[in-house]
Amino acid sequence: MKLYDTELTSALLLGTAQYLSPAILCEAIRASGCEVITVSLRREATDGAGTQFWDMLRETGMRVLPNTAGCHSAQEAVTTARMAREVFGTDWIKLEVIGHADTLQPDVFALVEAAGALARDGFKVFPYTTDDLIVGERLLEAGCEVLMPWGAPIGSGQGLRNPDALRAMRAHFPTVPLIVDAGVGRPSDAAQAMELGMDGVLLNTAVAKAGDPVGMARAMALAVQAGRAGHLADPMERRDMAVPSTPVLGLAELM
């Protein structure tokens, strides 16, 4: 998977929030085999131990993808992104502009506005968006080279609520990296996303809130690999009726 100018060997991206302890987080990162982790600037800026947390993440050797979580306007997101660039020393930014408090659905109008402003400012934008094709086109026109459609509301663990829409995105944007972001709750969800032809999966709560976060991180890594392998193997089409695997021709006839 190539994201902007960076090639990655792992299709799994991992969030760093909600873990019971920094030690568990570090173990989960290692178990996942990921190369990119997301970090919320807002959480680090308000946490007295933010500097220590950032130092710990830097020691993992992972590439950091800061996000604008919690922003509800284009201007707020742009300001947060610029602060994140100073704090984390990267021009990568996961752009979130929330439009609905209950579902955490993106405000797609403000999202496109913020994406354009950040792209013009030299950012490499990773937009958290819906599975709408027109919104995807507008984001690409604004300067994005990656799209991150949701599978379901953030933190819900509902899996892929509209796989047909994701399949349509894959067909409509055949050369654009697509990363399912939000809603993945189980390894089967991650595998399904990859079977649909997605290039990657970004998840957080599914691992952080599992009974065994390290074990779940490992399971998600295997699921992503299996789903990708399944997609490349060209799965059989679904059928409306049963088709016998043993031919009827040549069976003995009882008189």
Parallel/antiparallel/unpaired status of strands 200-203 and 179-181: parallel
Catalytic residue at 2? no
Which residues have C-beta within 8 Å of that of residue 205, sequence separation ≥ 6? 15, 18, 154, 155, 157, 185
Q: Cα(207)–Cα(186) distance, rounded to whole angstroms?
A: 9
Q: Cα(251)–Cα(72) distance, rounded to whole angstroms?
A: 68
Tell me whether residue 227 is annotated as binding. Answer: no
175-194 burial, b if ≥16 CB within 10 A, otherwise e? ebbbbbbbbbbbbebbbbbb
Point out which residues pair with 125 in neighbouring strands: 93
Tell me whether residue 204 is annotated as binding. Answer: yes
Closest CA to 186 of 153, 166, 156, 164: 156
Tell me whether residue 205 is annotated as binding. Answer: yes
Active-site residue, selected from the candidate residues 2, 94, 124, 209: 94
Tell me whether residue 16 is annotated as binding. Answer: no
Count CB-CB contacts under 10 A for residue 252.
5
Tell me whether residue 182 is annotated as binding. Answer: yes
What are the binding residues? Answer: 155, 182-183, 204-205
Residues marked active site are found at 94
What are the binding residues for 1-deoxy-D-xylulose 5-phosphate? Answer: 155, 182-183, 204-205
